[in-house]
Structure 1
Amino acid sequence: MRHLLFPLALLAPLPALAQTTPVTPIQKGTALPPPSSDEAAVLAPINALFASLERGDGAAIAQHVFPEGRVTAVGKATDGTPRIRQESWAQFSARLQPGKGFRERIWNPAIEIDDDIAMVWAPYDVQVDGKTSNCGIDHFDLVREAGRWKLLNITFSSRTTGCERP
């Protein structure tokens, strides 16, 4: 009988080890902490840019950018050769048409701030009529002037494959 009690005594603590403490699950898409107030201020002109793009409102972009800045797209032409397209904010804005906008979204932005300069690096996708048209990485350069963040440059990669949002 003693031979049976010893193995049973070893097994007795196992139910206690199997217990878990209830943990509230992380809501999908909220794994990163919310941006600090500085980070939120840096994201504000980017979000305003996206709202202008969705409306097709090129004129509204001007208040969020430095006019001497650039928009640079890097991708591949249909024949696979590398392609770089650069234009001023004015040229970029002139191509927008009211009612013919598109929706651009970023997620998991990496935000770096040093005094009055900031950089935001984030995956993005663009949707036209509810369908993803392209995706890549957005890289924004921002400068704070008179206490207000404005976009100086945006450089982005662009592709039409592998655009599944995590």
Structure 2
Amino acid sequence: MKALLITAALLAAAPLAAESPHEHAPEQAEVIAAADAFFFALGSTRKTDLAEVMLPGGMIFIHDRRTPDAPRVDMVPVAQHLERWARTTGRFVENMRYETVLVDGDMAQVWGPYVFFANSEVSHCGVNSLSMVRTESGWKVANTSFTMEPPGECKRLGAPGFDQ
């Protein structure tokens, strides 16, 4: 079963939307395409790709719950994360189910469960909250908050690939 989940995640061409793209309003489809680009950049072997889809002035809030007795929230400026990311090695794949996509003018929110693979192994899962901003060059991830839960919680959270 584990090998099947890993293979499915690595072969996935795009994150999982709650609805098919043709069922979304045009502005939601644009935001979903930008979220897809964000996840493709995470999985890219060119570590600089992530900088093309994020705003360096944003913030990342990591709600780390992998150790239940010592949960913590880490705050990382996007610019700092991009510098670190450019030096990472390994293969990373993240699949997210877009359960909620809200758009109001040049502001959007994408919310839903995800699973994160590091070097073909489930590292963690949780819930993503992507705050998106429309810029002159298109939609970008401005801020993101996400929970990090141990792999044993993926099914409960409804992470892609973990049937409930």
TM-score (norm 1): 0.72
RMSD value over aligned CA atoms?
2.3
1:163 to 137, 154, 157: 154
Structure 1: how far apart are the matches of 2:146 and 2:33? 19
Structure 2: how far apart are the matches of 1:72 and 1:57? 24
CA offset digits 1:13-32 (Å, max 9, x no partner): xxxxxxxxxxxxxxxx8873
1:86 corresponds in structure 2 to 75
1:146 corresponds in structure 2 to 136
Shift of 1:76: 2.9
Structure 2: how far apart are the matches of 1:151 and 1:110? 15
1:32 to 19, 32, 43: 19
SS across alignment from 1:66: coil
Structure 2 residue 99 is the aligned partner of structure 1 residue 109: yes
Amino acid at match of 1:45: A
1:41 corresponds in structure 2 to 30
Structure 2 runs not aligned, ≥5 long: 1-15, 156-161
CA contact (8 A) 2:64 2:147 kept: yes
- Which 10-residue stretch deviates more, 94-103 or 58-67? 94-103
56 and 31 in structure 1: CA distance in 2 versus 1, 3 angstrom threshold? closer
Amino acid at match of 1:120: V
Q: Which has the higher contact order (CA 8 A, sep 6+)?
A: 2
Structure 2 residue 117 is the aligned partner of structure 1 residue 130: no
Deviation >4 Å, runs of 4+: none
Amino acid at match of 1:92: H
Structure 1: how far apart are the matches of 2:94 and 2:65? 20
Structure 2 residue 102 is the aligned partner of structure 1 residue 95: no
Structure 1 runs not aligned, ≥5 long: 1-28
CA contact (8 A) 1:55 1:98 kept: no
Q: Percent identity?
A: 26
